[in-house]
Structures are given as C-alpha cells and as structure tokens.
Amino acid sequence: MEFVRFLAVGLGNTVFGYAVFALLVLAGVAPMPALVLTYVAGIVFNFFTTRRFVFRAAGGLARFARFVAAYAVVYAANVGLYRLAEAAGAGPLAAQAVCLPIVAVFSFLLFKLAVFRGP
C-alpha cells in the first residue's frame, strides 16, 4: 500500500518537478543547472508530502537531514542516467523523461529503507 501511495504522491511531485525542469530549459537554462534548481525546489515540498501521506511518519530535523542526503544520492543517480540517455542521443526533455521511472523506484526504496524507517 505504501508504494501505491508513493506513486500517487510521487505523480504530483514528478509533474511539478518535470514542469519546473521543462520551463527552465525552455527559458534557456542549461539542463544541469535546471536539474539542480528542480531538485532544490522540490525537496521541502516532497519531504512533507512523502512523510505525511506515504510513510505517515513523524517529522524532525534528523529525518529531514536524512531525506536531503537521500535526495543527494537520488540526484547523483539521476545525473548519471541523464548523461547516459543524452550520450545515446536523447534531447534534454526526453533524457529526463527516460530517467523518471528509474529514479522513482530507486527513491522509494531509499526513502523506505533509509529515511522513514523507524524513529
């Protein structure tokens, strides 16, 4: 059931993040800085929605710090996948679209096992 809730909340978070990324790229921001800004814009919002609606966990500074650290790992994975897709010939919007499902599953597992596990 958690994964279903994660997908529902993640869909909203993903649409928001991809829209920010697309708007920045279409406005002329280079893809890598746009990706950084997308992640920064989404972290706080995603923490509260994921914590509350997916894992139904208590908050706290330590948990938020773990969430931010997990996001750094997810970001690094996203960059690596993005570069592979780009090297294969995908444009910036298609490359990030290819990354989304892989990053979503990876982030769920990381959040479940490292961020919202226990107190």
CA distances from 53 to 6, 7, 13 (A): 8, 11, 12
Using pLDDT thresholds of 50, 70 and 90, give the confidence band for residue 119: low
pLDDT, tens digit, 9 for 90 and up, residues 17-59: 899 899 999 999 999 999 899 988 888 889 988 999 999 998 8
Q: Is 118 a residue whose pLDDT tops 80?
A: no
10: Cβ contacts below 8 Å, ≥ 6 apart = 50, 104, 107, 108
CA distances from 24 to 12, 16, 33 (A): 18, 12, 9
Residue 30: alpha-carbon gap to chain centroid: 19
Please state, in angstroms and rounded to a whole number, the distance separating the CA atoms of residues 51 and 105.
16
Instruction: Output the average pLDDT for the chain.
Output: 92
Tokens 């989404």 found at: 42
Please report the pLDDT score of residue 53 as a whole number.
92
Q: Is 99 a residue whose pLDDT tops 70?
A: yes
- How much is the pTM? 0.75
Please report the pLDDT score of residue 23 as a whole number.
95
Helix (H) or strand (E) holding 83: helix 61-87
CA trace torsion 95, 97, 98, 102 (10° rounding): 130
